[in-house]
Structure 1
Amino acid sequence: MKQNSWRSAYYNQNHFVLKLGISILLVGFGFRLLFSHSSNVIPNETDNILITPVVENDLNPVPSDFVESPKEFNQFQSKDDESGECDIFDGEWIPRSGSPAYTNNTCRWIESHQNCMGNGRPDTGYIDWKWSPKACELPRFDAKKFLERMRDKSWAFVGDSITRNHLQSFICLLSQVEDAVDIYHDEAYKNRKWHFPTYNLTVSVVWSPFLAKAEIFEDVNGVSTSEIEVHMDVLDKTWTEQFSTWDYILFSSGKWFIKSAIYYENNSILGCHGCEGKNYTDLGFNIAYQKILKNLFDFIMNSNPKSMIIYRTSTPDHFENGSWSTGGSCDRTVPAKEGEFELGVLNRILREVELPEISRAREWASETGVKLKLLDVTPLSLVRPDGHPGPYRHFYPFAKDKNAKVQYDCLHWCLPGPIDSWNDLLMNLVLNG
């Protein structure tokens, strides 16, 4: 494995520490994040998706030019070492001809909060773009070919609400060949399993927003009564107990780490993040994210899995003129131009943690033969502010009052929408890697 391409993915340690210190001071104790709920196909079912996504506007008065220029952002881009001459993550969005692979009428697995068409979004241009690498063609997700290659296999998507958003795109694409059969769900519909009987393929989604053991004290509306308690040294048994049964596993996390939390190691309090009024050392969420990712990859490598492991990077939101809780919106209908949106403070911290950790893990994997892939969707997602539900997370939000004030979702993604291209990339990694 080439190590030089990974070194360009992040600054040197001194710069990282300096930037991290500035970022943590800016973050401070001044925000409290709530996580929203999203319904499945069952009406009124909730599961605590980000209600108050963390956005840069929450950090007022951070100047808009605080983050680096587009040229500097390239230093944070990963390289696809395993695709020969083509870096599939280096490209642009171009117009797509033809219809989307599915719609809200042809896929019954879209959650209501991401069903932009069904909720009355009037424009449809956001579905008419595809991701195009600069050095090669990226084939569209071929559900028939994928299902044939996945006969008698099992997949798992492990993570938070964005992971589930991604999973639903995956299920919708495959269901155009054979509709998935829902064979398991827990009471809250957070953990689910589908089966494609003709191909004997099973696909699971596992709710584990921290990937580690965590006690979350929230009601169905995402209102917290206490800080989350995160055990940084204990991975979540919800997925570890099933790990050896899966052939392909996609992990992703990030956003939940920004919530106020108390951190434990060896069942003792080590510190906290954003725990105002508590007599604990504020460690910053980056410490928890780094420790847990290290534990995640150590667990994977020491398990010597035969499965393929994919880690998907965290994704940016696109709130403008405010945040989720202060009237922020996302009304754009076309992709942004290069440099129009910059990776903000909090997303930068997440990226500065995850790229070095997966770099370390991939070097280890190259020595042991473990199949570990990076699905780096951050740069290509950054320029798609048009792909979020916005006000259309609600059913026809302006039907009664065209000037109604409604809460926008500028974090999750419309289905169909830009994240269908994530699965074009995923298919490339899996079938060609």
Structure 2
Amino acid sequence: MGFITNLLKEQRHILLTRKLLPWFIYALLPLAFFRLYFHPIHLPENSIHQSPQIVVSSSSSSLSTPPFSSSPVLEEEVNAITETSCDYTDGKWVPDKLGPLYNGSTCGTIKAAQNCIAHGRTDLDYLYWRWKPHKCSLSRFDPNKFFHLMTNKHIAFIGDSMARNQVESLLCILSSVSKPHLVYRDGEDNKFRRWNFPSYNLTLSVYWSPFLVDGIEKSNTGPNHNKLFLHRVNEKWAVDLDDFHLVVFSIGHWYLHPAVYYEGDELVMGCHYCPGLNHTEIGFYDALRKALRTTFQTVIDRRNPANSDELNIFLATFSPSHFDGEWDKAGACPKTKPYEENEKKLEGMDAEIRGIEMEEVEEAKSRAKQNGGLRIEALDVTKISMLRPDGHPGPYMNPFPFANGVGDRIQNDCVHWCLPGPVDTWNEILLEIMNKWERQSSRNRGL
């Protein structure tokens, strides 16, 4: 009888345990999440792929929430919980129902040839993609946050038409919050312009300087090659260097053109594609490297260490074109969606140019360490851009190109970017890096 009693007691104990065990597990789960939230597991450094170029640490969730983000709180929480550095070049394009950051018909600053919708482009799927890094989140651009960081500042975009493309993107994004005033315009095709946002005393400028160094551009009436003086910068932008707080340099495409390179006022180093001239053919890679080194060294030398304002220098890396065929022989870019990651590799000339740019940024960083208040960084947009063959104006560089039917040859622009378009993401990454720097400064101040 005692054996049966003990057996019944043991069975009741087993049943009670089975009933309580799930509730015990459910009770532990919130505690586990709470533990991971405030004390995340730190993996060894060599177990996490990190890029030496654009590396943004997201360890704070105190940023203001963009009013138009689909899940801004979640994005900030993910970055805050992981507390890992993020390589924003490592990712893919994913569908985005929210669409563009601005209405291209209302901001009033877009070059006509990049205003694709106004020129009749009807396949608008290219507007509904966003860049998703693999190991973190990239928040939508918050104009209010940008204004907060850049109040009373002067930002300069200096270089080729990619610099113009990017500054017009930024102007359109910011115009959704505050209207800019055009305060200066000069040069053919508005190559030198300046805007001011009076509510924030923020100034944006664009300087046409496709080589960064001093140069004479080829013309229809003169020699069919550019002349570059690699030992000195273009003073049209350099003379204003003391006025800048943030600079975005952008060069690359003009180095593909025929050119003669000078290491001194009269000393010829060589040339790129110069048949008929008595110069050594050396290609353009060395010239590009020397131009970047001259540019960064000039910034370092002319930066006044006594200046209390920080100077932040970015170099936007090369943005590949997407011509199917030769650009001047009916080449086109008809694709209507991004490449998958495994569908397109960064290689050849595009990879070579980016590599030179990244190396020169790193070299300049080491030389700038002795100059307080000067920061140099890469805005690495090469892979991001390479995967977007659908984002160019294509035939819509001209108004309604098919209004009279499909012609034998319709000129395409497969270099620049529609606005709105993929180039807006460049500015989102720019803001992420600025946010990172602000958080670092706050921690250094003990705030």
TM-score of the superposed pair, with normalisation by structure 2: 0.76
**How much does 1:426 deviate?**
0.6
Aligned residue for 1:135?
A: 135
Count of aligned positions = 356
Segments of structure 1 that go 5 or more residues without pairing to the other structure are 6-73
Work out the CA distance in 1 between the residues paired with 2:407 and 2:218: 35
1:265 to 260, 263, 283: 263
Query: Cα RMSD (Å) of the superposition?
Result: 2.0
Q: 1:91-138 CA distances to partner (integer Å, 9 max, x unpaired)?
A: 111111224221222211111110110111111110101111112111
Aligned residue for 1:118?
A: 118
Aligned residue for 1:287?
A: 286
1:400 to 404, 410, 434: 404
Q: Which has the higher helix share?
A: 2
Aligned residue for 1:80?
A: 54
Q: 1:337-357 CA distances to partner (integer Å, 9 max, x unpaired)?
A: 123233353323312321211
Identical counterparts, % of pairs: 38
The answer to which of 235-244 and 90-99 deviates more is 90-99
Aligned residue for 2:236?
A: 238
2:378 to 374, 377, 380: 374
**How much does 1:304 deviate?**
3.5
Q: Which has the higher contact order (CA 8 A, sep 6+)?
A: 1
Code of the aligned partner of 1:239: W
Code of the aligned partner of 1:147: F
Contact persistence 1:397–1:404 (CA under 8 A): no
Code of the aligned partner of 1:160: D
**How much does 1:163 deviate?**
1.0
Alpha carbons of structure 1 residues 304 and 160: separation in structure 2 relative to 1, 3 Å: same
TM-score of the superposed pair, with normalisation by structure 1: 0.78
**How much does 1:363 deviate?**
2.7
Q: How does 1:276-355 map to 2 (within 5 A)?
A: 276-304=275-303, 306-320=310-324, 322-355=325-358
Code of the aligned partner of 1:211: L
Q: How does 1:207-246 map to 2 (within 5 A)?
A: 207-219=208-220, 225-246=223-244
Say whether 1:178 aligns with 2:182.
no
Which protein shows a greater Rg?
Answer: 2
Contact persistence 1:373–1:429 (CA under 8 A): no
Work out the CA distance in 2 between the residues paired with 1:135 and 1:202: 34
Work out the CA distance in 2 between the residues paired with 1:403 and 1:187: 34
2:388 to 348, 373, 384: 384
**How much does 1:224 deviate?**
6.1
Alpha carbons of structure 1 residues 379 and 278: separation in structure 2 relative to 1, 3 Å: same
**How much does 1:80 deviate?**
2.8
The answer to which of 400-409 and 280-289 deviates more is 400-409
SS at match of 2:195: strand
Q: 1:208-266 CA distances to partner (integer Å, 9 max, x unpaired)?
A: 000011011324xxx86432111010100011101111111111101111111111122
Q: 1:258-286 CA distances to partner (integer Å, 9 max, x unpaired)?
A: 11111112212222111111111112111
Q: How does 1:38-57 map to 2 (within 5 A)?
A: none
Code of the aligned partner of 1:247: H
Code of the aligned partner of 2:289: Q
Aligned residue for 1:196?
A: 197
SS at match of 2:119: coil
Code of the aligned partner of 1:278: L
Aligned residue for 1:153?
A: 153
Work out the CA distance in 2 between the residues paired with 1:367 and 1:424: 30
Segments of structure 2 that go 5 or more residues without pairing to the other structure are 1-44, 58-83, 305-309, 438-447
